[in-house]
Amino acid sequence: MDSALVLGMIVSEPEVKERLAAAGVAVPKGVSVGFAEVVAQPSVLAAAAEAEGLAGLLVLKGWGDGLVHKSDAGAVRLGLAPYELDFEASTMAAEAAAAGVRLEGFLIEEQAEAGVELLVGVVDRPPFGPVAALGLGGTLTEVLDEVVLRLAPISRADAEAMVSSFKGAELLSGFRGQPPVDINSLIELLLAVAGPDGVAEQLGQSLVELECNPVIATPGDAIAVDARLITREAPKEAETEAPPTDFGPLFAPRGIAVAGASTSRPGFGNTFLTAYKELGWGPGTLWAVHPKATEIDGVPAVPTVADIDGEVDYVVGAVPAAACIDLVKGAAGKAKFVHVISGGFREASEEGTDLEEALGAVARESGVRVLGPNCLGAYAPAGRQTFLRNAPMDVGRVAMISQSGGLAGDMVKGGAIRGIRYSKLCTVGNSIDVTPGELLEWLVDDPDTAIIGMYLEDPRDGRRLYDALHKAKGQKPVVMLVGGRTAQGGGAAVSHTGALVADHRIWDAISASTGVSVVGTLEELLSAIAYLQRWTDADISGDLDTLVLGVGGGASVLGTDAADQAGLVTTPVSDQGQQAVRDLGYGVGTSIRNPIEIGFGPVSDPDVLVKALDPILETQPYPDVVIHSNVQAFFSYAGDGIERLFPIIETTAARAWPHTRLSLVLRNLDCAPPETAARIQQTCLDANLPAFTRFAEAMAAVAAAKRHARNRASITPPEWVASPRAN
């Protein structure tokens, strides 16, 4: 059992059923009898069933403190007649006692008719709060592990999407001659459990887990035949959010101080001093903090941050973990932000966890906002802010938030190769103070940012992040890479409702509700950002239609597979378009429906692709066209054939079809000499044509652009036009 559940208080099933019925959930007709009454009065259960008017076959259940899984303790009997109840109760009590469980009473209910068995539940799963689940119920819950999630409270649209999208949905519409179930009753039950006025919301911070399993769905109803509720004895306190912060000085500080640079053994602090000097920071704007030195690497040094004679907004803390608390205390009233590079906190040990909590408390008390610990800081070309040497300083409209410092460096340098130009990038590490959700809130309103990317592992403010993603929907595209989404990476287990909230499904739920694009690799993240940078301002449809066109039938099939895996649709080309392709001499032994095989190579004219695409897009304007070329073929079939590729790229990109986003997959680019490969990529950048080396990256990028276009089209302009930044 999940440790979160062990800490809770188990509510008796009769009381749970009363709560459910009061909220409008259909439950079986039944009656509850205390254990003492059963012991004192022979045949009391049969009499109670008769008095309550229970008809048909009956179900007998035992309930008591510590009894979570009744079937495991032998505390359930099905298909009983009234006269069998009392004998079965005595047998049940003996079996439960042998298992170490003391029963407190018995619940008698009418046995529900057969139907589709489902699970409906809500579990509190930090840091996201209550999460609603719908899946296959009964024994199938744990065997098949088919469940769909949404963060609660859910809307009617959420409930409808859950019912239609989980993998057992086929059973609901009538499977192998079975009648379809009453979908509306199931939706109403979901809302009664997990909606804005549902049982979970009524319980508030007391909720640990509420599970109805099974819910039996039939053509006439959806009824919760079994239910359990676990609550906290002491409701958890709501976390206090930091006051609204203007992060402008973080990305464009007036002055910078670096603590931890050495006079004898250069380390991180010295690297930061050098990087800042290279960007023009100097006397009066850059200081070293050192207890004894008066100068380090040509930079004036002072004993403490308070001794700085000038304006300083940002302090780099490259000091040991144990010294970070004093550094933050010393910055109070002088600096707005302290960036803690140091590790050795909760990622390292229990002692480190205690130290991290103390550092967070000091941050709140001092009023200094802390980045990290265990992170590399911020990067913003316009503000000459950096954590890297030789970082590109071209100013763009892309912002990134990363819980990994190492991957943030990859984002900067790997992004530059793809032509990504940044407005801001911030690493947050352990996020004890400044959190991903808080930064995202601010960036949605940042007028210098149009596209946002994120790398997350353990967001400390999951619900705030969720709300910020809702705020971004339709305004600015957000692409997210989440580490630890696999069973091993996230330590997920599947045994009951609590553990059903595995990481990947949480993020699937967040994506479905907020419109954020979740990708699987860093390369896909950067590819999607680069594609959005090129096309986010274009007024092009978010329809899933995608045209795949290029060299080689096998490669075209692989491209189509990648499109399907990304959720795209390779809609067939119209008869008119196919005829136009045949008229150009294609189609003999090759596909011209979609994908289209166009054999362009070292002897092709510059407009070879334009001639093929023009007649297709004139009558069937695909929102996205993914072209793929085989770079090695330009070398394999002609000595200087690669020279023909450059005008093909330039001519195709210059055509600029008004209703179509265009991209190019450069297969086998690694077959070209490094200098030639770099020239090919630069040609694509100069032509403003997004280029990828893998189909998966291209299709993830296309899917992200389509998702943002659909998000923007789904709301009215006043809702998605960026609002002015709050003071």
pLDDT digits (tens, 9 = 90+) for 274-295: 999 999 999 999 999 999 999 9
Residue 25 backbone phi and psi in degrees, to 5? -85, 130
The pLDDT assigned to 533 comes to 98
| The one-letter amino acid at 685 | L
Kindly tell me if the per-residue pLDDT of 723 is higher than 90: no
Tokens of 477: 């595209």
Task: List pLDDT tens digits, range 176-213.
Answer: 768 899 999 999 999 999 999 999 999 999 999 999 99
The CB-side HSE value for 91 (13 A sphere, CA atoms) comes to 9
Distance separating alpha carbons of residues 313 and 281, to the nearest angstrom: 13
Average pLDDT, the chain: 90
119 and 211 Cβ atoms separated by less than 8 Å? yes
In total, the chain counts a number of residues equal to: 727
> 170 falls in which pLDDT band (50, 70, 90)?
confident
Distance, in Å, from the CA atom of 66 to the CA atom of 686, rounded to the nearest integer, reads 68
- pLDDT at 162 > cutoff 90: yes
Confidence of residue 718 (pLDDT cuts 50, 70, 90): very low
What residue type is 489 in one-letter code?
A: G
Q: Which residue has the higher pLDDT, 149 or 101?
A: 149
Mean per-residue pLDDT, 89-103: 86
Domain ranges of the chain: 29-111, 249-374, 538-713
Q: Same fold for the domain at 29-111 and the one at 249-374? A: no
pLDDT of residue 496: 38
* pLDDT recorded at residue 725: 37
* pLDDT, mean of residues 143-149: 70
Q: Express as a percent the part of the chain with pLDDT over 70.
A: 91
Q: What single DSSP character describes residue 409?
A: H
Q: What is the pLDDT of residue 272?
A: 96
CB 371 within 8 A of CB 378: yes
In angstroms, rounded to a whole number, what is the distance separating the alpha carbons of residues 525 and 510? 17
Distance CA 507, CA 484 (A): 11
Residue 10: strand pairing partners? 230
pLDDT of 163 > 60? The answer is yes
Q: Is the pTM of this model over 0.85?
A: yes
Start-to-end CA span in the chain (Å):
47
Considering only CA atoms, give the Rg of the chain. 31
Contact 514, 469 (CB under 8 A): yes
pLDDT at position 146 over 80: no
State residue 201's pLDDT score.
96
Query: For residues 232 and 7, is the Cβ–Cβ distance under 8 A?
Result: yes
Dig out the tokens for 171 from the structure: 């059973």
Instruction: For residue 345, name the pLDDT band (cuts at 50, 70, 90).
Output: confident
Q: Which residue shows structure tokens 């500080």?
A: 253
Q: What is the DSSP string of 528-546?
A: HHHHHHHHTTS------BE
The CATH number given to 29-111 is 3.30.1490.20
pLDDT tens across 218-272, in order? 999 999 999 999 998 776 665 667 778 999 999 999 999 999 999 988 888 999 9
- Is residue 494 scored above 80 in pLDDT? no
Average pLDDT estimate for 578-604: 89
- As a whole number, mean pLDDT of residues 397-402 equals 98
* Mean pLDDT to the nearest integer, 16-20: 96
Look at residue 716 in the predicted model and tell me its pLDDT.
56
Q: Tell me which DSSP letter residue 101 carries.
A: -
Confidence at 4, pLDDT banded by 50, 70, 90: very low
Specify whether the CB–CB gap between 435 and 428 falls below 8 A. yes
% of the chain at pLDDT higher than 90: 75
Q: What is the mean pLDDT of residues 456-475?
A: 93
pLDDT digit string, tens, across residues 500-517: 555 688 899 999 999 999
Query: Which three-class secondary structure string do you get for 263-326?
Result: CCCCCHHHHHHHHHHHCCCCCCCEEEECCCCCEECCEEEECCHHHCCCCCCEEEECCCHHHHHH
Angle, CA 612 vertex, CA 607 and CA 615 arms, to 5°: 120
In the predicted model, is pLDDT for residue 602 greater than 90? no
Q: Let me know how many helices (H) and strands (E) the chain has, helices first.
A: 29, 29
Rounded to 10 degrees, the C-alpha dihedral 265/267/272/274 comes to 40
Residue 150: its pLDDT value, please? 95
User: What confidence score (pLDDT) does residue 589 get?
Assistant: 76
Following DSSP, what letter does each residue of 553-573 receive, concatenated?
A: HHHHHHHHHHHHHTT-B-PPP
Q: Per-residue pLDDT averaged across 472-488, rounded?
A: 85
- What does the pLDDT read at residue 237? 65
Highest CATH level, class, for 538-713: alpha beta
> What does DSSP say about strands 147-151 and 207-217: parallel, antiparallel, or unpaired?
unpaired
Summarize pLDDT for 609-648 with one digit per residue, the tens. Answer: 999 999 999 999 999 999 999 999 888 776 677 999 999 9
Q: CATH for 249-374, among 3.40.50.720, 3.40.50.2300, 3.40.630.30, 1.10.30.50?
A: 3.40.50.720
